Structure 1
Amino acid sequence: MSQSPSTLYAKLLGETASITWQELQPFFARGALLWVNEGLDLIAVAEAVAENQASKVSGWLAEGSLGKVEEERASDLLSRDPQLWAVVVAPWVLVQEKAERSALH
């Protein structure tokens, strides 16, 4: 297996953008928003979704590392307004909270 990023990975990386919760709320309302936990690579997850890699995606869903944004998380995001990363893999928008690198003093 090659260690270089795939063409799809590079394409998705180029389409990933910083976004606010305010901008994501319409996608949440439609049920089209998937949360990617901090421990996962947002782009690798998007690539697996785009390529219908069912075993990977179902594993993340089963362990709770990937899933629809729940009401509780939506309320938390609304109150905190953290920086988020998002990438579209139609019909989904995958979103992840940006890591706080400056938190390591």
Structure 2
Amino acid sequence: MTEQPSTLYAKLLGETAAITWQELQPFFARGALLLVDGTQDLIEVAQAVALNDQEKVAAWLPGS
């Protein structure tokens, strides 16, 4: 992604909403679902993933 972090953060924030498990199931079945700890900022995590910030994402993964 080439967007600036603050612009990307705002975009991700605008695209975030509560959804049902039925809507998440296809992503879970493909192995494309990440569980974000409730103490983390969901948008900050999404931004780190979108920007491929491997160091930051690795620090959040279990066993790191």
Q: TM-score, normalised by structure 1?
A: 0.53
Structure 1: give runs of 5+ residues left out of the alignment.
65-105
1:12 and 1:63 map into 2 onto residues whose CA distance is: 27
Matched letter for residue 57 of structure 1:
V
Percent of residue pairs identical: 72
After TM superposition, give the deviation of residue 62 of structure 1 in Å.
3.6
2:57 aligns to what?
A: 57
Matched letter for residue 22 of structure 1:
Q
2:8 aligns to what?
A: 8
Q: TM-score, normalised by structure 2?
A: 0.85
1:37 and 1:21 map into 2 onto residues whose CA distance is: 17
Larger Rg: 1
Deviation sequence 1:13-48 (CA, Å, 0-9, x none) = 000011001111111011011000100000000000
Report the 3-state secondary structure (helix = DSSP H, G, I; strand = E; otherwise coil) of the residue aligned with 1:26. Answer: helix
Stretches of 4+ moved more than 4 A in 1?
A: none
Instruction: Looking at secondary structure, tell me which structure has more helix per residue.
Output: 2
Structure-to-structure mapping, 1:25-40, within 5 angstroms: 25-40=25-40
2:40 and 2:18 map into 1 onto residues whose CA distance is: 17
Instruction: Looking at secondary structure, tell me which structure has more strand per residue.
Output: 1
